[in-house]
Amino acid sequence: MYKRQVLFILFALVSVAGFSQITGWNAKVGMNVSNWTTDGVDAKVGFRVGVGTEYAFNDMWSLQPSLFFSTKGGKVDSGEMLGASAKVTMNQMYLELPVMAAARFNVANNTNIVITAGPYLGYGVGGKTKATIKYEGEKATAKFNTFGKIDKVTIEAGGQSHDFSIGDIIDPDEYDLSEMKGLHRFDFGLGVGVALEYQKFIVGLDGQFGLTKLDTDAGKNLNFAISVGYKFW
């Protein structure tokens, strides 16, 4: 269902771009504050860096496709119970393609306010989920892939690190190991933003609201970003 909607949106945007002209390129870098829509998940700080271009229809309206490398995720803290505590950090690395419709308002000489809205596509390219357990002063950490098949777990304890196959940890006679999978790689959602342009410099605030579930039992991505950029034209 979502894939059909995504393809329709992409074809529509390509068609619209044919009636515009490229007016410049830009590069941006910034900080993410991301979370899941699931209860009990806390925000995690990450970063984003990318490049973009702009197709202008007139002095006010334009289309702004970009390509970003973005780190997102969330944190879960179980608190302390019977002397033990556990913390889990989900690290998600994405390649993202936002395609934003933009309205530019000139507010002073060489100064514009730009309001944007549109869809984004994301694909999970990497990241590790880290679970840390503390008990009576001892600490052990387990790491495994955030996306795709989970076939290996790295456990660190007592200053040593060992890799274990998932079959060494979970009894294959009791559990179907083929079901041991991480989050879905594909992400799709809507983004909104506002930016201040002064000459060739950009300062922006953006929000992304995921529409696809990260997993059957997980929520969706939420992300807010502040970024700075420079226009090359």
Using an 8 Å Cβ cutoff, are 120 and 101 in contact? no
Quote the CA–CA distance of 232 and 5 in Å, as a whole number.
33
Supply the CATH classification number for the domain 2-232.
2.40.160.20
Please provide the distance, in angstroms rounded to a whole number, between the alpha carbons at the two ends of the chain: 39
| Domain spans in the chain, listed from the N-terminal domain onward | 2-232
pLDDT at 15: 54
Span 195-206, pLDDT tens digits? 999 999 999 999
Span 120-138, pLDDT tens digits? 999 999 999 998 888 767 7
Quote the CA–CA distance of 231 and 182 in Å, as a whole number.
38
Span 50-107, pLDDT tens digits? 999 998 888 899 999 999 999 999 998 876 655 678 888 999 999 999 999 999 999 9
Mean pLDDT of the chain: 85
pLDDT value at 19 more than 60: no
